[in-house]
Each structure stands twice: as C-alpha cells, then as structure tokens.
Amino acid sequence: MGTAPPAAGLSLRNLFHHKWLVGAFWFFLTGALFFSAVRDLPLIRSEAMYALVPKEMGEAGTWLTPTLNGARYLDKPPLLYWVNLLAYKLGGVSETTARIPTLMAAAGEVGLTYLVGIEVLGPRPAFWGSLVLLTSVGFFALHLQLLTDHLVTLSLLVALYVMLLTEGRLASGRPAGSQPVFFQMALAAGFLSKGLIGLVFPLMILAGYSGLRRNAGLLSLVLNPRGWLVFLLLSLPWLGAMEYHHPGFLRHHILNEQILRFLGERQPPDINSFSLGGFWLFLFLWLLPWGLLLPEALYCYVREAWRSSLAFGREGLMPLWAAVVLLFFSLSSSRIEYYSLPALPPLALILGWRLSRIIATPGDRRLPLVLFLLGFLGLATLLLLPHLEELCAANRREFFGMFPLIQPWARQVTYIVPGLSLTGVVLGWRRPRVALAFYGTLALVLLFFTWKTYLALSPLLSDKIFGEYLRKAAAPGDVVVMEAIEEFEYGASLAFYSGRRILMVQRRGLPQFAYAVSPRENFLISATRLEELWRSPSRVYLLVDEAILSEVRLPEGILVQALPGKRLLSNRP
C-alpha cells in the first residue's frame, strides 16, 4: 500500500504525465456526461425548491432572505440558492440553468477524488477510483438532482485535499503557510451548504487522521487565528443579518433544523426517516455495480494497511472518512437515502485500489466471479423492483406506481446484464483486464438504464406537465391548490412550472410551518376552506393524488389532466 510517489513519477500512460492533467480530464469528462444527461430534465418534487427559492429571490431583488412559494424559508443554508441565483442571472431562469451548479459540483467531486487518491494511494488506484465513482449508479442518479449534499461533498473533498497538502508541506520542513485559510474557506462553504454537518465531518476526520498519523502539526489547520477569522467573515454576516431581520432565526435554523433533527425531535415531525437497514441498503445500491466488490475490497484494504509497516500511513484516511459519515447518519434519528453521498469518494478509492491490484495479478478470478453474481442479480430485477418501490414509497408517497412505469426497461435489464456478464465470465476467466473491460461496460449500461428510468419516472415525480398547463390555461384570478402533501417543500415543482403561488391543504396538522408566518405569507388552508373555494364563483384547480382522492369531499369536478398517481381537477369549465 503506502503513500503516493512524488509528482515527477505520476504517469498512467504517456498521455497522463501530471496529476493536474488527469484531474482536468476527469473534470471535463464528468461535465460532458452530466450535461448530456440533465438537459431539459424536469425538476422533481424533492429537488425543485432549490430552483424555486433562487427564482423568487431574484424576482424580489434580495440575496438575503430565501422565500418558498412566497413565504420565508428559514430551514436551509443559502449557498446553493446563491450559486443558482448567480446561474439565473448569467443564463436566465430555466430547469437546465438550475442544474449547472450541480453539474459543476459533480465534475469537481470526481476531479478532486482523483487528486486526493493521488496523494494517498498513487496514480493507478486514483484513476480507477475516479472511474468507479463516476460510473456508480448512485453518484450518477443523485447528481441528476439538485441537492445541498453535493456542495457538502465537494467542500469536504477540498478540505481533506488541503489537509493532505499541508501534511506534505510540514513533512518537508515548510510551514503551513496559507493552508489554514483554504481549509477554513472549505469549512465555511460546507457550513453555508448544509449547516453544522459541513463543520462536523471535516473536523472529525481531521482529528482522527492527525491521531492516526501522530501528527499534531495538522491541528494548525484549526488552531490558526487567521483561518478562523476567514471562516467567521464568510459565515457570520449571513447568520447575523438573518437573525436581525428575522428574530428567532438562529434558534430555528441551528437548534431545530440541525441539532433536534439529528435527535429526531425536530418540529414539525414531517420527515419520514429511512430505517437503518434501508439507509445501508441504499449505500450498496448507490455503489452498483462496483458495490459487489466492496466487502472483499474493504477487508483486503484494512488487512494490508494493518499488516504493513505503514499501519498508520495515509491510507488510513479512506476507512476513517467513510466511517465518520456513515456512523454519523447511522446514529442520527433522521436519515434519508442520499445522506451517504459524502462517503462515496473514499469507498470508490478503496475499490479503485482493489481493482488496481486485481488487474495486476494474472489469472485472478475475482472479477469473473462477481460478474457472475451481477448476471444473477440482473435476472432477478423484475422480482426485486417491487420491493424497492415499497421501500421508497414508505418514505415518499409519489413513488407509488413506480414499477409499472419502469417495467419495460427492467425487462431489458434481465437479459442484457446477464448476457454481458456471462460473456465477461467466459472471456475473462483468467484474464482480469478483459473481465474489467466487461465490468466497466456493464457499469455504463446500468448508467444508461438509470437515466432511462429517471426519464420514465419524471412524470410521476415532477409536476412539470401540470405546471406548464396551468401557466398557459389559468387566468390571473384562478386559484391553484395542492391536496395531500405532508412537506410543503414538495409543492415547489408545481409552483416553479406554473409561475404562480399555490395553496396547500392542511390535513392532520401537516404540512406545517415551524415558525410564525404572517397571513400574507401563509399558503396553507384547511379542508373546510378548500370546500368554500370549490363552491365559490372563482375557478379552482386542484392537484390530488389518486391514492387519497376519496378523502376530498367535494362536488364532482372536471378532470383536466391525469398522470399515473395524479389528477388535476377543476371546479368549473
């Protein structure tokens, strides 16, 4: 195992003579892949708020107070809003423009994963680890969505890369220089992306790594007064301004949304947390098809690190990094399937390390054996997907009815994946490089089917079709109402595409604001108020889920549009 060779020796082939060249290669390759995938992709309910909030901030002419559907939104830090608002100002408001910052984050994550891998494991494991990350189903699927977790992952990668560079400087007898400033800038970016997690992860990993390396000098990254001054200058102005303009903001934003959320005491209790088993299952799914190699790769990686004379070498960073992220959310009472995203880079690098060892061993049969298992899973796709739908729908209702929409693509998986796998087993039985070529081809095939699945599900998960209809057909005085929605953030897709403020029906106490809002801001109405509006002279459009239509006790309406699981009704022609 051991540390990476000096930069002068970095070369995979004659094309790649320098780590920055290969890092740039991964950056642009990732950007090209994701740009081709996200063009005109509709905004689904769980992500659209990150496009709607900066749109409303731009219309209001403010960079300070986020609003969602016309009401103050004090739950999330502002960095993703700011970068999307900047993207809107440069490229205009559109779903494609809103995805550009996420696209850039994906490219940065893959490029930085390679650079971190170079420092810890050397060029070949770093190369294969970057390939594993880029072609993992979860990394691809999650970066088709707008999520603050991408910025957290990117800022964490920056912080750890700075930590490794600082270690190199200290080992050569040079002072840390400006590294503490860059480290604290990364911490500030993480904090402004997702709150305290942006501080907890890098600081815990730094503390653990400095202990493993017995290098107290690394703590200069957090003990340097100039660094903390930079952090405070970047983070405190927004916090102070928000508390000044919205008294009680800090209590809600820090205590309720982060500390109490971790403990499962957040109010209102409108988050359906994944079970611990479901969270770990999705970690395996996110790493497909490479995740099948992970248990054996982790075992070999840790065993070799422990047995080598460099038991406390740089390679200890990878399991430490993954453990901090995964244990944190395992202990949390609030976890969502994509919270494991910051753990994917170190796990991908461990897999890259294992692949580099396998292909360097003539006659190694591990990859053909795993290919055989992949083929078996491909055969079982149609049997496994209904159970996956049940797991997802238990967390978010819009996943009901998922399986019939993706069944045509799932049927193709059941013969394409086994066919490629079996061919790879036969041709690569004693030739690991050939087996790896088939494995990589399977990874690309799975990315294609993931993309097609996402496109097939988008009408179910997005309100674009209804929103664009309302933008064209609804008059200025018409009322638009959403029924059966537990988290008001999930109304952002309809509001973004319709270009108008919408009302939401509150049932059984949900959705609910966690802080006081003025009557002008409040868009929540009771079922009684919906009935009054439905019988009024005004035209009312009502978007409902088919699964709960029986709960809406209204005179019969006119069916305007219907999609699997949803109906748009109107009270009059």
Per-residue model confidence as pLDDT tens digits over 153-197: 999 999 999 999 999 988 888 887 889 999 999 999 999 999 999
Q: Residue 550 has what pLDDT?
A: 46
Q: Are strands 67-68 and 71-72 parallel, antiparallel or unpaired?
A: antiparallel
Amino acid symbol at 159:
A
Q: Is residue 370 part of a domain?
A: yes
What are the residues whose beta carbons fall under 8 Å from the beta carbon of 552, sequence distance 6 or more?
A: 483, 527, 530, 542, 544
The mean per-residue pLDDT over the stretch 373-402 comes to 73
Over residues 19-44, mean pLDDT: 81
**Cβ(117)–Cβ(231) under 8 Å?**
no
Domain limit, last residue, from 460, 484, 504: 460
Q: Is the confidence at residue 310, as pLDDT, over 60?
A: no
Residue closest to 504 by CA, chosen among 533, 475, 477: 533
- Asked if residue 205 and residue 315 are part of one domain, the reply reads yes
Q: pLDDT band at 409, cuts 50/70/90?
A: confident
Choice between 242 and 397, residue whose per-residue pLDDT is larger? 242
Q: Are residues 548 and 563 in the same domain?
A: yes
The answer to whether the CB of 51 falls within 8 A of the CB of 43 is: yes
Residue 429: partners with Cβ closer than 8 Å, 6 or more residues away: 365, 368, 435
H/E stretch holding 445 reads: helix 432-461
The pLDDT-based confidence of 486 (bands split at 50, 70, 90) is: confident
> Does one domain contain both 202 and 235?
yes
**When comparing pLDDT for 28 and 119, which is higher?**
119
537 within a domain of the structure (yes/no) = yes
Regarding whether 456 and 474 lie in a shared domain, the answer is no
Indicate if 170 and 31 belong to the same structural domain.
yes
Helix (H) or strand (E) holding 96: helix 95-120
Q: Rounded distance, CA 315 to CA 306, Å?
A: 10
| Residues 439 and 553 grouped into a single domain | no
Selected residue with higher pLDDT from 277 and 393: 277
Residue 307 and residue 184: Cα distance in Å, rounded? Answer: 35
- Residue 60 falls inside a structural domain: no
The per-residue pLDDT for range 435-472, each reduced to its tens digit, is: 999 999 999 999 998 888 888 888 788 999 999 999 99
The rounded distance, in Å, linking the Cα atoms of 222 and 384 is: 47
- Tell me which amino acid residue 26 is: W
* Whether residue 476 is found in the same domain as residue 497: yes
CA 396 – CA 14 distance, rounded (Å): 50
**Given the structure tokens 């970690």, which residue do they identify?**
283
Q: What is the pTM of this model?
A: 0.92
Give 382 or 129, the one with higher predicted confidence.
129
* Overall number of domains in the chain: 3
- Residue range 349-360: mean pLDDT, rounded: 94
- Do 222 and 342 have their domain in common? yes
Q: Quote the CA–CA distance of 268 and 256 in Å, as a whole number.
A: 9
What is the rounded CA–CA span in Å between residue 460 and residue 469? 16
Q: How confident is the model at residue 1 (pLDDT cuts 50, 70, 90)?
A: low
Instruction: Give 43-73 pLDDT, tens digit per residue.
Output: 999 899 999 999 999 999 999 999 999 999 9
Task: Identify the DSSP state of 287.
Answer: T
Summary count for the chain: helices (H), strands (E):
24, 8
Whether residues 106 and 198 share a domain: the answer is yes
| Residue 267 pLDDT | 83
Say if residue 95's pLDDT is above 60: yes
Q: CA nearest 524: which of 547, 507, 541?
A: 507
Q: Report yes or no on 166 lying in a domain.
A: yes
Decide if 431 is inside a domain: yes
Last residue of a domain, which of 460, 488, 518? Answer: 460
Residue 71 host element (H or E): strand 71-72
Look at the alpha carbons of 425, 430, 432, 434 in this order and tell me if their dihedral is positive or negative: negative
| pLDDT value at residue 397 | 63
Distances (CA, A) of 516 to 71, 74, 192, 365, 519: 10, 11, 24, 63, 10
Residues 218 and 111 in one domain: yes
Q: How far apart are CA 459 and CA 351, in angstroms?
A: 35
| Residue 57 placed within a domain | no
Q: Which residues contact 290 (CB under 8 A, 6 or more apart)?
A: 132, 135, 136, 348, 351, 439, 443
Domain boundary among 407, 425, 460: 460
Task: Please give the pLDDT value at position 40.
Answer: 73
Say yes or no: 218 and 155 in one domain.
Answer: yes
pLDDT band at 3 (very low <50, low <70, confident <90, very high): very low
pLDDT range class, residue 289, cuts 50, 70, 90: very high
369-396 burial by CB neighbour count: b if 16+ within 10 A, else e? Answer: ebbeebbebbeebeeebeebbebbbeeb
- The whole-number average pLDDT for the span 224-230 is 92
Domain carrying residue 437? 366-460
Same domain, 378 and 395: yes
Which one-letter amino acid corresponds to residue 165?
A: L
Reported residue count of the chain is: 573
> Is 64 part of a structural domain of the chain?
no
Residue 52 domain-assigned? no
d(CA 221, CA 219): 5
Question: How would you classify the pairing of strands 558-563 and 540-545?
Answer: unpaired
